[in-house]
Amino acid sequence: MNAHLADLTGTLARMDGKCSLIHAWGMKLATVLENGGRLLACGNGGSAAEAQHLTAELVGRFRKDRRPFAAIPLHADGSSVTAIANDFGIEEVYARQVRAHGRPGDVLVALSCSGTSPNVLAAARAAQQAGLAVWALTGPAPNALAALSDEAVAVPSPDTSTVQEVHLVLIHMLCSATEEALT
C-alpha cells in the first residue's frame, strides 16, 4: 500500500473514538442554528479552505434540502482581512471579526494542523471572551489550540496532508449530524 494511504487509513481508524464527540457537536450546532445563532470558522491555508467548505455546507446544503443557516468563514472577506492585518496585525485578523460577528451562544470552529497558529489562537480567546463555544480541529495533541478550546479533536498524524484530509472527513460528519438533528 502507498505510504500516504497507509497513514491516512491508519489515522482514520484511530479517529473512530471521536465519532460520538462529532455527533454531539452536530446536535449542539443544530440547536444553535435553529435558534438564530451562527457558526464562525477560521484557519490558515488548507485549514481556511476547510473552514470555508464547512460554512458552504451550512449556508447551502450538505445532503438534504433545508433552510440556509448563518455560517461565516472568517478568511473569505478579503477587504476586511487585509484592512485588519494592515491596521492591527495578522494575529488580530480573525479575533477582530469574532468580536464583530460573534454573539453569546454562537460557535467558533477553529482549524489548525499545528494547533499553534497565533491568529487562530487569538480568535479562540476572543470567542471565549464573547461567550462563544470554541471547537477545534487540530493536528497531534498536545497543542495550544486544543488546550484553549472548549472541546477539540486532535488528529494523531505528523503529516499535514493527512491531518487536513481527516479534518474534511470530520467536517462532513459534523454536517451530517447537524442535518440529522434538524429533521
Structure pTM?
0.96
Residue found under cell 497513514: 7
Q: What is the pLDDT along the chain (183 residues), one digit of tens a residue?
A: 899 999 999 999 999 999 999 999 999 999 999 999 999 999 999 999 999 999 999 999 999 899 999 999 999 999 999 999 999 999 999 999 999 999 999 999 999 999 999 999 999 999 999 999 999 999 999 999 999 999 999 999 999 999 999 999 999 999 999 999 987
Output the nine-digit C-alpha cell for 136.
477545534
Residue 142, preceding peptide bond in cis (omega within 30° of 0): yes
Burial 157-170 (b: 16+ CB within 10 A, else e): bebeebbbbbbeeb
